[in-house]
Amino acid sequence: MDGNQMAQSTSDDPRVPLLPIHRPQSFNSYLNGGRDASTNMLAVLVWVFTWWLTEAVPMPITSMSLLFLFPLFGIADADDVAHSYMDDVITLVLGSFILALAVEHYNIHRRLALNGVSDQILSTRRPKRIERAVTGDVE
């Protein structure tokens, strides 16, 4: 390439979408250990992907293996990896799923629905009140 092509804007370059393939050394700056950390990251990725694809190890162990593999191979600190697993939003979603499973297990959703509808049906026969009970609309 001559000097004029090198000065060309990268947005005009048709290889911009292939930049990581064109210059793989660009990934080295993102990891703490440089090239060694990149190689270790690729090795861990292939290892965990193989476990995931073949199901040689149970899925929960495969998903949690990064907690000890990243610090072991020097890719990231244990605190950073653990923080990625238990971020505030992830904890909120996990708690919501656990609460939903508990509600479903003890049939609380049916109890609430039947109590709401039966109270409205027994008290009066007006369809508007039954509709409000089913949709959760309050007066």
Q: What is the pLDDT of residues 69-128, one digit of tens each?
A: 999 988 889 999 988 888 899 899 999 999 999 999 999 988 887 776 676 566 666 677
Closest CA to 25 of 15, 39, 11: 39
* Cβ-contact 26, 19 below 8 angstroms: yes
**Residue whose tokens read 């804007």:** 9
Would you kindly state where each structural domain of the chain is located, as residue ranges? 1-77, 86-139
* Cβ-contact 10, 16 below 8 angstroms: yes
pTM of the full predicted structure? Answer: 0.49
Q: Tell me, what's the pLDDT at 104? A: 93
Q: Is 86 exposed, middle or buried (0-12, 13-18, 19+ CB in 10 A)?
A: exposed
Q: What is the pLDDT of residues 108-120, one digit of tens each?
A: 988 887 776 676 5
Count the neighbouring beta carbons within 10 Å of the beta carbon of residue 62.
19
